[in-house]
């Protein structure tokens, strides 16, 4: 009895008293050390992937055929190869797709922009490669200029598959608000299925770690697989037919995380798919009406003295645009687009206009000074959008700049003829950041002289020396000194 007690308790001297306290077992220490070792083994290969996708909906109630929405997601990715290939869970490209499918709508995400943030905190441009729906994987590739500092995950040729009951550690990255630090979740294998491919179910679920690297706690720090969502072909019904969304397992099954084994992961990396349509290098041509829109809320409606409290409010009509020609005016409220209510999701409904095509005619239901009317508007080609602007890396700034667009000039109160470049990304330890520059700043002059675009800025900055920068930030013009 005394010997058993001594194994579980220890004596601690506190002042003049001896206290009996629980003893920490060697097995607990070993387990904690194993978790830390798995986290350290994964750290160098984990990245954050930021995706901007445009999703076309089919047969969604209240939206109509061809409705569109923009999806921006952030998820854990794994560096797979030295040539910049990064693998992630396909379910994270559009996390709400399962919910839309339960309502009878197919969601078709087309990835427009990809950024990969490494453990050094630097944002790297990347291209969309494609999806392997059968494995539940998606792939992006980091541009050659950004591959330094990325360490591919080493996967041996033969890795034991964890058995039911085995304890696993899933290492992923926390979100942006938590600093994107590595995190480890502990779970166990609840079941193993072989059809149509081997997947391991987990308990407890750790779906927050999708895209994370999976390790067994019984073996060494060798990857046992990757955490994915439910792959295509593993579902009960692949057709987009309405199902009972109140069924207790409907969204739970679709949103759960499953282990794709190391062998399957390695096979997927060896032969990634290609979606050439989504990776076209040409600039996207957007259509537009020519207004600055604002999603209407009851608070905005009250402040503006409007009778309606939902829809899209016209903040501004630009000159020479289809909107001006059709007779739209500031403070008008658009309630329907081609007969469909925009109140279901005003922001996304309105952005869908960008994809309808130049020369297409749309019918708007508009309320002007309390009276409703319908207007036919022929769409024109939109000015270059900031997200489509060419980006250039400048060593002189230790950062990335992009073109100064029509929309930047409008937001910053700059004249239409203004030239310059917008800071897109900065090394936090670089000379530009130390000078006070921030992402989003527009550099409009160097040493009191104008310049044109990124190439003009590179020439104006030179390779060294001090430069006086005129910077537009919001409505303010700042003078900053760049010292190198």
Residue 239 has pLDDT above 50, yes or no: no
Q: Could you tell me where the beta strands, DSSP code E, fall in 23-166?
A: 46-58, 68-79, 85-89, 106-117, 123-132, 137-142
Q: Which helix or strand (DSSP H or E) is residue 326 part of?
A: helix 322-326
Instruction: Check residue 201 and give its pLDDT.
Output: 94
Instruction: Check residue 280 and give its pLDDT.
Output: 36
Instruction: Check residue 6 and give its pLDDT.
Output: 44
User: If you average pLDDT over residues 137-157, what whole number do you get?
Assistant: 93
- What tokens were used for 102? 């339960």
Instruction: Check residue 354 and give its pLDDT.
Output: 75
Assigned CATH topology for domain 287-381? Pdz3 Domain (2.30.42)
Assigned CATH topology for domain 386-483? Pdz3 Domain (2.30.42)
Instruction: Check residue 407 and give its pLDDT.
Output: 93
* Closest residue by Cα to residue 422 from 466, 388, 468, 467: 388
pLDDT 10s digits, 347-360: 555 666 777 778 88
User: If you average pLDDT over residues 131-135, what whole number do you get?
Assistant: 90
Instruction: Check residue 413 and give its pLDDT.
Output: 92
Alpha carbons 229 and 206: distance in angstroms, whole number? 11
Backbone angles phi, psi at 421, to 5 degrees: -150, 150
The confidence band for 84, taking pLDDT boundaries of 50, 70 and 90, is very high
Instruction: Check residue 108 and give its pLDDT.
Output: 65
pLDDT 10s digits, 118-132: 988 888 999 999 999
Per-domain residue ranges of the chain: 2-34, 41-278, 287-381, 386-483
DSSP 23: P
Cα dist. 132→49, 164, 171, 183, 217 in Å? 17, 26, 22, 26, 28
Tell me whether domains 41-278 and 386-483 share a fold. Answer: no
Instruction: Check residue 350 and give its pLDDT.
Output: 63
Residues 6+ positions from 479 with CB-CB distance below 8 Å:
468, 469, 470, 471
- What tokens were used for 24? 């920490």
Assigned CATH topology for domain 41-278? Thrombin, subunit H (2.40.10)
The confidence band for 65, taking pLDDT boundaries of 50, 70 and 90, is very low
Alpha carbons 148 and 154: distance in angstroms, whole number? 17
Q: Specify the higher pLDDT residue, 193 or 71.
A: 193
DSSP annotation string for 355-388: GT-TT-EEEEEEEETTEEEEEEEE-EEPPPPGGG
Percent of the chain with pLDDT over 90: 49
The confidence band for 240, taking pLDDT boundaries of 50, 70 and 90, is very low
Cα dist. 30→27, 37, 75, 182, 455 in Å? 5, 10, 30, 20, 56
Residue 1 has pLDDT above 60, yes or no: no
- What rounded mean pLDDT belongs to the chain? 83
Residue 458 has pLDDT above 60, yes or no: yes
Instruction: Check residue 178 and give its pLDDT.
Output: 87
Cα dist. 327→11, 324, 330, 337, 346 in Å? 86, 5, 10, 16, 21
Instruction: Check residue 250 and give its pLDDT.
Output: 55
Q: Are 437 and 423 in contact (CB under 8 A)?
A: yes
The confidence band for 284, taking pLDDT boundaries of 50, 70 and 90, is low
Q: Are 100 and 92 in contact (CB under 8 A)?
A: no
- Residues in a beta bridge with 189: 202
Q: Are 67 and 352 in contact (CB under 8 A)?
A: yes
Cα dist. 136→130, 201, 240 in Å? 11, 14, 18
User: If you average pLDDT over residues 25-47, what whole number do you get?
Assistant: 86
pTM to 2 decimals? 0.58
Residues 6+ positions from 62 with CB-CB distance below 8 Å:
340, 341, 344
CA 91 to the chain's CA centroid: 12
* Closest residue by Cα to residue 87 from 182, 212, 214, 235: 212
Residue 425 has pLDDT above 80, yes or no: yes
DSSP 62: T
Instruction: Check residue 72 and give its pLDDT.
Output: 83
From the number of C-beta atoms within 10 Å of its C-beta (0-12, 13-18, 19+), residue 134 rates as: middle
The confidence band for 103, taking pLDDT boundaries of 50, 70 and 90, is low
Q: Specify the higher pLDDT residue, 44 or 110.
A: 44
pLDDT 10s digits, 241-257: 444 545 545 556 666 89
Residues 6+ positions from 10 with CB-CB distance below 8 Å:
20, 21, 22, 23
Candidate from 4-13, 23-32, 50-59 with smallest mean pLDDT: 4-13
Highest mean pLDDT among 9-13, 66-70, 341-345, 438-442: 438-442
Instruction: Check residue 349 and give its pLDDT.
Output: 59
Residue 317 has pLDDT above 60, yes or no: yes
Candidate from 17-31, 290-304, 313-327 with smallest mean pLDDT: 17-31
Q: Are 46 and 182 in contact (CB under 8 A)?
A: yes
User: If you average pLDDT over residues 388-395, what whole number do you get?
Assistant: 84
Residue 215 has pLDDT above 80, yes or no: yes
Instruction: Check residue 285 and give its pLDDT.
Output: 75
């Amino acid at each position: 009895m005394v010997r058993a007690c001594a194994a579980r308790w220890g004596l601690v001297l506190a002042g003049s008293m001896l206290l009996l306290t629980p003893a920490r077992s060697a097995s607990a220490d070993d387990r904690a050390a194993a978790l830390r070792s798995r986290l350290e083994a994964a750290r160098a290969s984990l990245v954050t992937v930021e995706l901007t996708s445009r999703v076309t909906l089919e047969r969604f109630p209240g939206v109509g055929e061809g409705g569109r929405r923009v999806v921006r997601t952030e998820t854990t990715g794994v560096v797979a190869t030295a040539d910049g290939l990064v693998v992630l869970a396909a379910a994270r490209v559009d996390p709400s797709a399962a919910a839309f499918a339960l309502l009878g709508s197919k969601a078709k995400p087309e990835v427009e922009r990809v950024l990969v943030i490494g453990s050094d905190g630097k944002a790297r441009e990347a291209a969309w490669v494609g999806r392997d729906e059968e494995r539940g994987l998606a792939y992006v590739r980091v541009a050659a200029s950004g591959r330094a500092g990325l360490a591919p995950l080493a996967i041996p040729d033969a890795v034991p598959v964890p058995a039911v009951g085995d304890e696993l550690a899933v290492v992923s990255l926390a979100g942006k608000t938590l600093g994107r630090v590595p995190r480890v979740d502990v779970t166990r294998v609840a079941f193993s299925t072989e059809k149509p491919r081997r997947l391991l179910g987990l308990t407890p679920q750790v779906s927050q770690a999708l895209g994370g690297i999976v390790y067994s706690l019984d073996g060494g720090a060798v990857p046992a697989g990757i955490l994915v969502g439910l792959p295509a072909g593993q579902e009960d019904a692949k057709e987009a037919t309405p199902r009972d969304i109140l069924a207790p397992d409907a969204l739970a099954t679709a949103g759960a995380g499953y282990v794709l084994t190391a062998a399957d992961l390695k096979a997927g990396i060896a032969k990634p798919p290609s979606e050439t349509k989504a990776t076209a290098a040409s600039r996207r041509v957007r259509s537009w009406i020519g207004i600055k829109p604002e999603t209407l809320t009851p608070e905005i409606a009250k402040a503006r003295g409007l009778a309606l409290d939902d829809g899209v409010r016209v903040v501004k009509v630009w000159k020479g645009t289809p909107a001006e020609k059709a007779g739209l005016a500031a403070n008008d409220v658009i309630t329907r687009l081609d007969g469909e209510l925009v109140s279901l999701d005003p922001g996304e409904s309105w952005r869908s206009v960008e994809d309808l095509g130049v020369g297409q005619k749309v019918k708007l239901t508009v309320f002007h000074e309390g009276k409703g009317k319908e207007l036919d508007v022929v769409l024109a080609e939109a000015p270059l959008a900031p997200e489509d602007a060419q980006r250039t890396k400048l060593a002189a700034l230790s950062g990335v700049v992009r073109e100064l667009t029509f929309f930047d000039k409008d937001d910053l109160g700059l004249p239409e003829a203004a030239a310059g470049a917008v800071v897109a990304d900065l090394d936090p330890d670089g000379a530009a950041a130390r000078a006070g520059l921030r992402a989003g700043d527009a550099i409009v002059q160097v040493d009191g002289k104008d310049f044109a675009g990124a190439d003009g800025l590179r020439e104006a900055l030179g390779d060294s020396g001090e430069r006086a920068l005129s910077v537009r930030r919001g409505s303010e013009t700042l003078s900053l000194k760049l010292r190198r």
